[in-house]
Amino acid sequence: MLNRRSFMQSSAAAALFAGAGRARAETPGVTDAEIKIGQTMPYSGPASAYGVIGRTETAYFKMINEQGGVNGRKINLISLDDGYSPPKTVEQVRRLVEQEQVAFLFQTLGTPSNAAIRPYCNDNKIPQLFIATGAAMFSDPKHFPWTMGFNPNYQTEAHIYAKHILATRPDAKIAILYQNDSFGKDYLTGLKDGLSDKASMIVKDASYETSEPTVDSQVVTLQGSGADVFLIAATPKFAAQAIRKSFDLGWNATKYVSVVSVSIASVLKPAGLDKSKGLITAYYGKDPNDPRWKDAPDMKAWQAFCAKYMSSTEFIDSNATYGIGAAATMAQVLKQCGDDFSRDNVMRQAANLRDFEAPLLLPGMRLNTSPTTYSPIRQMQLARFDGESWQLFGELLTG
């Protein structure tokens, strides 16, 4: 059954207002029967491992629609491929807004992609909600009130790594591989800030472009620096390459990897589970591969959901579990809207989450937003990969 409270609270609540009155006529994409929302996802290109997020969110809204929808309306998610290419993102978003007439955007993925469409969304007062990136630039309600992130702040995550390195390896020599955009640079900035007057511990950094076929040469250069700590601030394809190459070189550094590349299915298995053993990350979701969660109500519900709408492959993919949390949060916002689906009110409710418990987050985590706080997830916990699953250690940390 899919009605376990911890997993289904948002979808069950979403149907409470079935039969509510007419939507405001001036809102594009909203009728008495439907709420049309838009999304871009990299179903192709260098970040295609994230495509499962869009597929999962589409399936989640299908489930909600089968249960009666949100406030009496079905959710019609139009998810288009942008190939992780900002010019393509701009093209697809204009299509969604101007041709498909969506009410708003949800979970558009990628730091460079969202940076490309942020001016258009804010100039036209189109909600750009719960975007799939943790870049600090997207938590700026003063200057960009129509854009709200979802992921934990990448700089905060890098601070966590810096504090752990200082506590465990105070004499470390650090190397960092980062994507040459705001996503990767946030980690470099956060690491330096977290190390403070010990920033000289960073002995080498190397960047890569998403158009490059591999990062093997960068990893060789970083190993040559003599570093004994290696931070991988990369998206899945390049993170897998860096993990594999550093192992094959015999580089026995303590390795940290960005939370955006912790999927066992799309990163660690391609890199090699044996080669990934010992990796450290900052986690905020339940790893479906970890047996400690097998009896958790939301994990059982996730398994049942995958059995009906997805597959066993998605069940073990943390990118998919991430998608469920984001979709449930979006459903909660729509539920809070009552019968007012104007863009103003959708944005207002998105900035009014109060201790929302999204499915598959770590125990004790709650999502909160306000008109001045556009980062819903602000807690993380360190985890180490043991060759089979991510094992949590330490305390839940708040950024």
Question: In this predicted model, what pLDDT tens digit does every residue of 95-143 receive, in sequence order?
Answer: 999 999 999 999 999 999 999 999 999 999 999 999 999 999 999 999 9
Please tell me whether residues 173 and 266 are part of one structural domain. yes
Please tell me whether residues 16 and 78 are part of one structural domain. yes
pLDDT, tens digit, for every residue of 195-238? 999 999 999 999 999 999 999 999 999 999 999 999 999 999 99
- Those residues with Cβ within 8 angstroms of residue 81's Cβ, 6 or more apart along the chain or in another chain: 40, 41, 42, 43, 44, 51, 92
Residue 217 belongs to domain with CATH number:
3.40.50.2300
Residues pairing with 36 in the sheet: 76
Q: What does each C-alpha distance from 203 to 132, 218, 246, 247 come to in angstroms?
A: 31, 14, 17, 20
With bands split at pLDDT 50, 70 and 90, how would you rate the model's confidence at 26? confident
CA–CA gap between residue 361 and residue 73 (Å, rounded) = 27
Domain annotation covers residue 391: no
CA–CA gap between residue 192 and residue 194 (Å, rounded) = 5
Domain annotation covers residue 219: yes
Please tell me whether residues 189 and 261 are part of one structural domain. yes
CA–CA gap between residue 275 and residue 262 (Å, rounded) = 14
Is residue 120 classed exposed, middle or buried when 0-12, 13-18 and 19+ CB atoms within 10 A define those classes? middle
CA–CA gap between residue 389 and residue 251 (Å, rounded) = 22
Please tell me whether residues 11 and 94 are part of one structural domain. yes
Domain annotation covers residue 49: yes
Q: How far apart are the first and last CA of the chain?
A: 36
Please tell me whether residues 122 and 212 are part of one structural domain. no
Domain annotation covers residue 392: no
CA–CA gap between residue 186 and residue 259 (Å, rounded) = 13
Domain annotation covers residue 336: yes
Structure-block tokens of residue 35:
């709420």
Helix, strand and coil in the chain, % to nearest 5: 45, 20, 35
Please tell me whether residues 169 and 95 are part of one structural domain. no
Question: Coil, strand or helix: which one is 23?
Answer: coil
Structure-block tokens of residue 374:
């556009």
Q: Which domain, by its residues, includes 218? A: 154-283
Residue 105 DSSP code: E
With bands split at pLDDT 50, 70 and 90, how would you rate the model's confidence at 20? very low
pLDDT, tens digit, for every residue of 348-367? 999 999 999 999 999 999 99
- Is pTM beyond 0.85? Reply is yes
Please tell me whether residues 279 and 298 are part of one structural domain. no
- Biggest alpha carbon–alpha carbon distance for the chain: 66
